[in-house]
Structure 1
Amino acid sequence: MKSKIQALKKNNIKRISKIFFQITALLLFSFSIQAQDKKAKDLLDQVTAKVRSYDNIVIDFKYSLNNTKENINQDSKGNVTMKGNQFVLNFMGVTKIFDGKKTYTIVPEDEEITISKVNDKDDNAITPSKLLTFFNTGYKYNMDMLQDVKGRKIQYIKLVPTNAKDQRKEILLGIDVQTKHIYNLIEMGKKGTKTTLTVNSFKTNQPLSKNQFTFTESKYPNYYINKLD
């Protein structure tokens, strides 16, 4: 049972990293869209321009995973602090720190820390260079529904993978029309799995410690440190 729980935790951490950094890619970098919906492109460009004006971003989010057929309903909360390419992500009791060169994954439950360098050749790795190009290819973009969410106008953009082997049917990216901030991201899988990441709090230009993105080994005297590189 413990091994199943650990496997589920690792799978969710990997999943939240991929979904969250899809949002981060849109938040921090611009990208080109050819032969796509011009209104969608214009809105995404506005989101990018708005967020690029911030020195740092602090987000609290909710993550939900649902699959009616498999009777799966799981909700979790997390937070992330970003400044440039650096970030600190806290999710399901695990902390991920990226200082611009290395990623430090801290798991208090197991008293273990994994340190790894960025590998641009790893298709599963989230790297600053991939954030620059994540949405450049592989998706079709179109404006979708406009919803009223507690008095906020949320405009959705639908992203459909062009690769037939992709297990995702579509992705809906919700943008607050007034603030031009990301509100949520909904990913629909071909096998019925629905994952939703909702931004509960979006703060900018916060006072951060100069060591905010620095890993200090002395803080974890009894931890096993696994250096992959």
Structure 2
Amino acid sequence: MKIRNVLILLLCCSLGVLHSQDATKAKNLLDEVYEKVQGYDNIVVDFKFDLYNSEADVRQETRGNVTLNGEKYYLNYMGAEQLYDGQKVYTIVPENEEITIEDKSSENGTVSPSKMLTFYREGHSFDWDILQDVQGRKIQFVKLTPIDTNSEVASILLGIDVETRHIYKLIETGKNGTRTTITVNSFKTDQPLPKTLFTFDEKKYTDEGYYIIRN
């Protein structure tokens, strides 16, 4: 075997080892994030949402917040509210005075709010990415690539605060060129929550004239 071929072989082997080590580092960091999230009674997140597609010249920016308690959640986003009480998903649209009630199974495989801090545990390969300094905070990015080749998502960059092990930013790039960015503005844990936060009061809304759709 020529020396050149030997060097190429050694280089390929070295790159393979480095990639494997990076993937292991990425998985270990995500495992730490997951363990941190699982240790809280509840989590309250205020976030900024940005959607951009240069080809279609579409840009959308908005803010929202979500309260998570186990599988239950309460989401306030784009003028609508969504509540999951452990059995049903209730989507409340005050502008239309309309409420849709669905079984959890109706989410069609999308990432529900209850999974937004843990979705990365399944269906992705991992890779170590860049480290950024954001106003004095060290944010380590991990690149997630869907294992399903039919996924509409090309890749996801998950930015993790190195000190707190909390998710700070998610950048999703679709195969159609759309880039969606979610930035966490506030991450609070173990907050005192109203006892009725995850309870849907149907009579309250019907008395106010809301139309209810059951799927």
TM over 0.5: yes
**Alpha-carbon separation, structure 1, partners of 2:130 and 2:111:** 32
Residue pairs, 1:32-51, within 5 angstroms? 37-51=23-37
Q: Mark the CA change 1:146 to 1:131 in structure 2 (over 3 Å): closer, same or farther.
A: closer
Partner amino acid, structure 2, of 1:215: F
Q: Mark the CA change 1:148 to 1:50 in structure 2 (over 3 Å): closer, same or farther.
A: same
Q: 1:188 aligns with which of 173, 176, 180?
A: 173
Partner residue in 2 for 1:152? 137
- SS at structure 1 position matched to 2:105: coil
**Alpha-carbon separation, structure 1, partners of 2:204 and 2:135:** 42
Query: Hey, which bits of structure 1, 4+ residues long, moved more than 3 A?
Result: 120-128, 130-138
**Alpha-carbon separation, structure 1, partners of 2:149 and 2:68:** 33
Q: 1:205 aligns with which of 190, 193, 215?
A: 190
The reply on whether 1:226 has 2:210 as its aligned counterpart is no
The reply on whether 1:72 has 2:58 as its aligned counterpart is yes
Q: Mark the CA change 1:152 to 1:131 in structure 2 (over 3 Å): closer, same or farther.
A: closer
**Alpha-carbon separation, structure 1, partners of 2:107 and 2:152:** 22
Normalising by structure 2, report the TM-score: 0.82
Report the Cα offset of residue 112 of structure 1: 0.5
Q: 1:57 aligns with which of 43, 46, 51?
A: 43
* Structure 1, unaligned runs of 5 or more: 1-33
Is the Cα contact below 8 Å between 2:41 and 2:69 reproduced in 1? Answer: yes
Partner residue in 2 for 1:81? 67
**Alpha-carbon separation, structure 2, partners of 1:116 and 1:172:** 31
Q: Alpha-carbon deviations, 1:124-152, whole Å to 9, x = none?
A: 58497x88995455321011000001110
Q: Identify the range of structure 1 (201-210 vs 133-142) with the bigger mean alpha-carbon deviation.
A: 133-142
**Alpha-carbon separation, structure 1, partners of 2:30 and 2:123:** 16
Q: Mark the CA change 1:47 to 1:134 in structure 2 (over 3 Å): closer, same or farther.
A: closer
Q: 2:124 aligns with which of 139, 142, 145?
A: 139
Is the Cα contact below 8 Å between 2:66 and 2:113 reproduced in 1? Answer: no
**Alpha-carbon separation, structure 2, partners of 1:80 and 1:103:** 14
Q: How much is the aligned-residue C-alpha RMSD, in angstroms?
A: 2.5
- SS at structure 2 position matched to 1:46: helix
Is the Cα contact below 8 Å between 1:120 and 1:127 reproduced in 2? Answer: no
The reply on whether 1:118 has 2:118 as its aligned counterpart is no
Paired positions, count = 194
**Alpha-carbon separation, structure 2, partners of 1:90 and 1:137:** 26
* Structure 2, unaligned runs of 5 or more: 1-19
Partner residue in 2 for 1:27? none
Is the Cα contact below 8 Å between 2:111 and 2:119 reproduced in 1? Answer: no
Q: Mark the CA change 1:38 to 1:191 in structure 2 (over 3 Å): closer, same or farther.
A: same
Partner amino acid, structure 2, of 1:64: D
Q: Mark the CA change 1:203 to 1:125 in structure 2 (over 3 Å): closer, same or farther.
A: closer
Q: Alpha-carbon deviations, 1:144-172, whole Å to 9, x = none?
A: 00000111000000011233322222110
- SS at structure 1 position matched to 2:185: strand
